[in-house]
Amino acid sequence: MTITFVCRSSKVSKKDGLTPLELYVIIDGKRRFVSLKRRIDHKLFNAKKQIVRGDAETNEYIEAIRMKCYALETEMLKRGLLLTVDTFVYAFKHGIRQNSISTYGLFDKFMDKQLEKKNIGLITHAIYVKYRCTIRYCKEAMQTDKMLSDLTTSDMEDIYTYMLHKMSNNSAICYMRKLKTILLYAIREGYISTNPITFKFHKDKVEKEPLTIEEVRSIRTKELGSRRIENIRDLFILQCYTGLAFRDMSCLSEKDIRIDKDGKEWIVKERIKTGITAFIPILPVVKEILVKYNYHLPTLTNQKYNSYLKEIQDICGIKKILHSHLARHTCGTLLLNAGVDMLTVSKVLGHSSTKTTEAVYAKLLPETIMRRVEEVSDKLI
């Protein structure tokens, strides 16, 4: 760190002819000016000797500020705090408010806060789990704990690179954004003053092509020759006709079934991810599956489920990659292409607004485009 005192003639006041005395700080090549509570005649200031001719009081003040700066630098280094020109200037103006903490220690404090929020309903369990997974990946990438103040942009890039070896770019970005939120919490708490994640993320554009109704039917009617695979097929078909996410389907029970005044059956269930309630009419094919399992669907992990779906994909000759979320995506798209209005589809899928439905699921299948164009063909000629 380098500190000098300056008195810039360009800042001479027209009112009294005096110029503010300033502290000039340089740390790691970055510079900042800090205005001090002194105004002097810039002609009397000797920049080389760092004194004001004939002004003993101001010279004592300059020396006191110099000593304060060196003492502040020593204290920040002693505490293991991040020393940059911004953190130093902040500490100079407001005092040292940061507390020394390790990265793992920050993770523990942050998760304690999130647990409190989850318990009172401020965040969902799914969000809580996302933060927990983010921290797990960070610890795997870091391998050992280090002081939070020592984290650099390079460390963040290493964590991001590690995640890219574990998952897709888009998934890695989701976790890195969660990490950025954790670091913003650290800034609010005064542990650090700047976020070490300084680089931008760029998501890959992924076209999610849903299944056609013919593909859904072929999966539904295919002879699979295995009870285990048939169970998975039943779950997948149920998702295709209800739009239930895997976690919501996994805990589906008879208590989620409602019967309206007309005797129609519905699945009325609060989504685990968002807390939004989905209202899903029970179609005959869904009723058949629920009755088959006496409303107690087979249970397994999402990872196993997706693994078994790959087998069904091969057996049925489906070119698209089958996974649990594809069924939900298929449900929304098929309903829209069948002419169901956006608001209704939004309620079925449990979206908070139709904007989500429109942005993610409102894709017209080729046959729908052709049908709608043919309907107005006479008007186009």
> What is the model's pLDDT at position 381?
44
> What mean pLDDT is predicted for residues 15-28?
91
- Lowest mean pLDDT: which of 46-55, 342-351, 354-363? 354-363
How does residue 210 score in pLDDT terms, banded at 50, 70 and 90? confident
Please give the DSSP secondary-structure letter assigned to residue 102.
Answer: B
If we measure between CA atoms, which residue out of 39, 35, 12, 13 comes closest to residue 24?
35
Residue 206: pLDDT band by 50, 70, 90 thresholds?
Answer: low
Per CATH, the number for 103-188 is 1.10.150
Q: Pull the structure tokens for residue 55.
A: 């002004």
Strand-pair category, 257-259 with 277-281: unpaired
Is 90 or 179 the better-scoring residue by pLDDT? Answer: 179
- Looking at residue 380, its pLDDT comes to 44
Give Cβ neighbours of residue 197 (< 8 Å, ≥ 6 apart).
153, 156, 176, 179, 180, 183
Domains 103-188 and 213-377 share a fold: no
Give me the pLDDT at residue 146, please. 84
Question: 53-95, pLDDT tens digit by residue?
Answer: 999 999 999 999 999 999 999 988 877 666 778 778 878 887 7
Q: How confident is the model at residue 44 (pLDDT cuts 50, 70, 90)?
A: very high
- 237-285 pLDDT, tens digit each: 999 999 899 989 999 999 999 998 888 899 999 888 777 888 988 999 9
Q: Report the mean per-residue pLDDT for the chain.
A: 86
Q: Provide, rounded to the nearest whole percent, the portion of the chain with pLDDT above 90.
A: 49
- Pick from 28, 105, 17, 116: nearest CA to 73: 28
Residues forming a β-bridge with 328: none
pLDDT band at 17 (very low <50, low <70, confident <90, very high): confident
Q: Is-contact 97 192, C-beta < 8 A? A: no
Q: What mean pLDDT do residues 10-37 have?
A: 90
- What's the average model confidence in pLDDT over 322-348? 83
Q: What is the mean pLDDT of residues 158-165?
A: 95
Question: Is the separation of the CB atoms in 159 and 138 below 8 Å?
Answer: yes
pLDDT over 60 (residue 126): yes
Task: Tell me: pLDDT of 175 over 80.
Answer: yes
pLDDT at position 163: 95
**Predicted pLDDT at 270:** 87
Report the predicted TM-score, pTM, of the whole model to 2 decimal places.
0.56
What's the full length of the chain, in residues?
Answer: 381
The structural domains of the chain, with segments of one domain joined by +, span 2-94, 103-188, 213-377
Better-scored residue on pLDDT, 145 or 137:
137
Confidence of residue 291 (pLDDT cuts 50, 70, 90): very high
Rounded alpha-carbon distances, angstroms, from residue 305 to 83, 177, 234, 266, 321: 49, 27, 12, 25, 13
Task: List the CATH code of the domain at 213-377.
Answer: 1.10.443.10
